[in-house]
Structures are given as structure tokens and as C-alpha cells.
Amino acid sequence: MDLKHLRYFKVLAEELNFRKAAARLNISQPPLSQQIKELEDSLGVSLFHRLKRGNELTDAGKILYQYTLEVFEKMEEAEERIRAIREKKTGTLQVGIVPGIRPGRIAQAMQIFQQQHNGIHVTIAEHCTSTLIHHIKENQLDLALVFGPVQDDALEWTAIAKEEYHVVLPAGHALAKRKKLSREDLRDQSFILYKRQDQPWLHDAVMQQLRINGEEPRIVSELSSPRTRVLLVHQGLGLTFAPASLQEEYPHVHFKPLDSLQAVAVGTLRRRNRNHAAIRAMTEAFQKSIV
């Protein structure tokens, strides 16, 4: 007894007519009769009473029909669940976040996503950009939210917003009363920056601003976390650069724009061959929340 036997049996049990059942199965009557005979032989019982005006199920046939319905119901359920996993309607979506994105924005994106995909469990990991790129390539993450742009043939970068990076100064600093800073204002200051391997393009852009007349800036520390850098600024250990959106979280320091530093793109990152429904939905959720 196999699924083919059961499928033929199910249709015949519902039609109780070999001609109609064969037409429904899109086969001729002889193959259908052969399949039913093989099924009856394997079970050692008759499944149908052959009558002049049709057929009816025997007691054994009625029992088999009940179980056959359960079998096909389970098959449909299995197919639906597998299809859902393939399309990421259920299962787990692994998302990476670069440090510096406001938690409120992430929470809003999760809420938007879960409204349409509440069967998917979302995991969030925070790493520097270089680590997120590696994890995306190794299929350890489905999607990452990073500062960019990111140029890699294996990856798809989608810009969704821009983020201003400001100079962060401690309270009472001589430059704190300025509305906007220039490169010359930063001469002879000490800086707490991020490691170049974390965000090479951003590190290089900032260093370009800080090099004045060929002089290298004074860097006292390099840390990955923007929040840790801001806290060290508060302690008077130097100045740093951080996303302007963080200033609401740190009223005890001053965020000042640098007139020559352009806004930084924020976007999503995924493998080029991975763009299932859940990834698209999460990208759209980030587009709505990261403004």
C-alpha cells in the first residue's frame, strides 16, 4: 500500500463510480481497477461492493477511507508548513544590527514586521559592520541593518535612509556653545574613534576630516560601541563621532554637526540569492521605522 493506491482509493470512495473516478484522476478505467485490486490484495480484504448501479464501501473500505482522509490531511498540513518555512512565514529570521541604531527604531520595525508575520521568531544580534558582512556571507544571518554603502559582489545593499554623524563633546567644552563646527575647530583635540576594521569607509571619512595640513589627529582610544565612546566623552577623555539620533539618549553631552561631514547612508544587507518574503517584509519594516 502506497500513496498512489490511497489516492486512487480516496477518489473512488468519493465517486463510487469507476468511470467518474477515472475521469477525475485523468486516467482510463483499467489502470484504476488495477490499482484498487492491488490495494485489496495487499490488505487481504474487499474494499468495495461491486453493484449493478455503482459501488459502495465495505466495512473495511469505510475504515480505510477514514484513515485515508487523515493521511491526506496531514500531507496537506506538511506541505503547507514546508512551504511556509521556504517562504519564511514561520520559523526564524536572523537579523543583525550595527551599533548606533536607536533601540526605539529597532523595536518599531519589529512591531511592524510581527503584525504580518507573527509566526516568525526574530533573533537580533549586534555586531560591527565587518562582522555582520561575514555572518551574512556565511548564512549565519538573513539580513543586517548597517551603515553603508557596502560594495560586495556577493551581497545586496539597499539604502533606506541617511543618518547624520555629529561630533560629541562633554558638557562645559569650549566648543559646546557653537551651533556647527568646522574642521579647524577640531584641531588639537583628542578623539575616541571606532576601529577601522569595524567600519572602514566611515573611519576613513572621519579621518579625512580630522587630518589638517597633513597632520594626524590625536586618537586616544578606539572602541566599537558608540555608546561606550559617548560615555567616555562624558568623562572628559576626548571627543567622538556618533549618530545624531543618539543625542536624545545622552542629554549630558553635546552633539554638534560638522559642516564638512556628509550624512551616512543606513541600509539593509543580504546575500544576492536570498530574498524570500520575510526578508522583504523586514526590509520594508526598517524602511518605515528608520527615518
pLDDT tens-digit map of 140-199:
999 999 888 888 888 999 999 888 889 999 998 999 889 999 999 998 899 999 888 777
Residue type, 241: F
d(CA 29, CA 33): 6
Q: Is the pLDDT of residue 245 over 90?
A: no
121 & 201 share domain: no
**Among candidate residues 235, 223, 160, the one with its CA nearest the CA of residue 196:** 223
252 & 207 share domain: yes
256 & 186 share domain: yes
Domain-ending residue, one of 86, 101, 132: 86
d(CA 182, CA 209): 9
Q: Which three cell numbers stand for residue 7?
A: 489516492
53 or 288, which is more confident: 288
148 or 48, which is more confident: 48
**Among candidate residues 263, 240, 261, the one with its CA nearest the CA of residue 163:** 263
Q: Which three cell numbers stand for residue 107?
A: 523595536
The single-letter DSSP state of residue 48 is E
78 & 197 share domain: no
Q: What integer pLDDT is reported at residue 136 of this predicted model?
A: 93
Taking the CA atoms of 192, 245, 176 and 210 in sequence, report the sign of the dihedral they define. positive
Q: Which range of residues forms the domain containing residue 12?
A: 3-86
- The CATH number given to whatever domain includes residue 29 is 1.10.10.10
For the chain, how many structural domains are there in total? 3
138 & 271 share domain: yes
Q: What integer pLDDT is reported at residue 89 of this predicted model?
A: 62
173 & 255 share domain: yes
**Among candidate residues 245, 176, 185, 226, the one with its CA nearest the CA of residue 209:** 185
148 & 269 share domain: yes
Is-above-0.95 flag for pTM?
A: no
Q: Is the pLDDT of residue 246 over 70?
A: yes
Taking only the tens place, the pLDDT of each residue in 56-88 is 999 999 999 999 998 988 888 787 767 766 666
Q: What integer pLDDT is reported at residue 90 of this predicted model?
A: 65
Element (H, E) at 254: strand 253-257
d(CA 14, CA 72): 14
Residue type, 114: Q
Whole-number percent of the chain with pLDDT over 90: 43
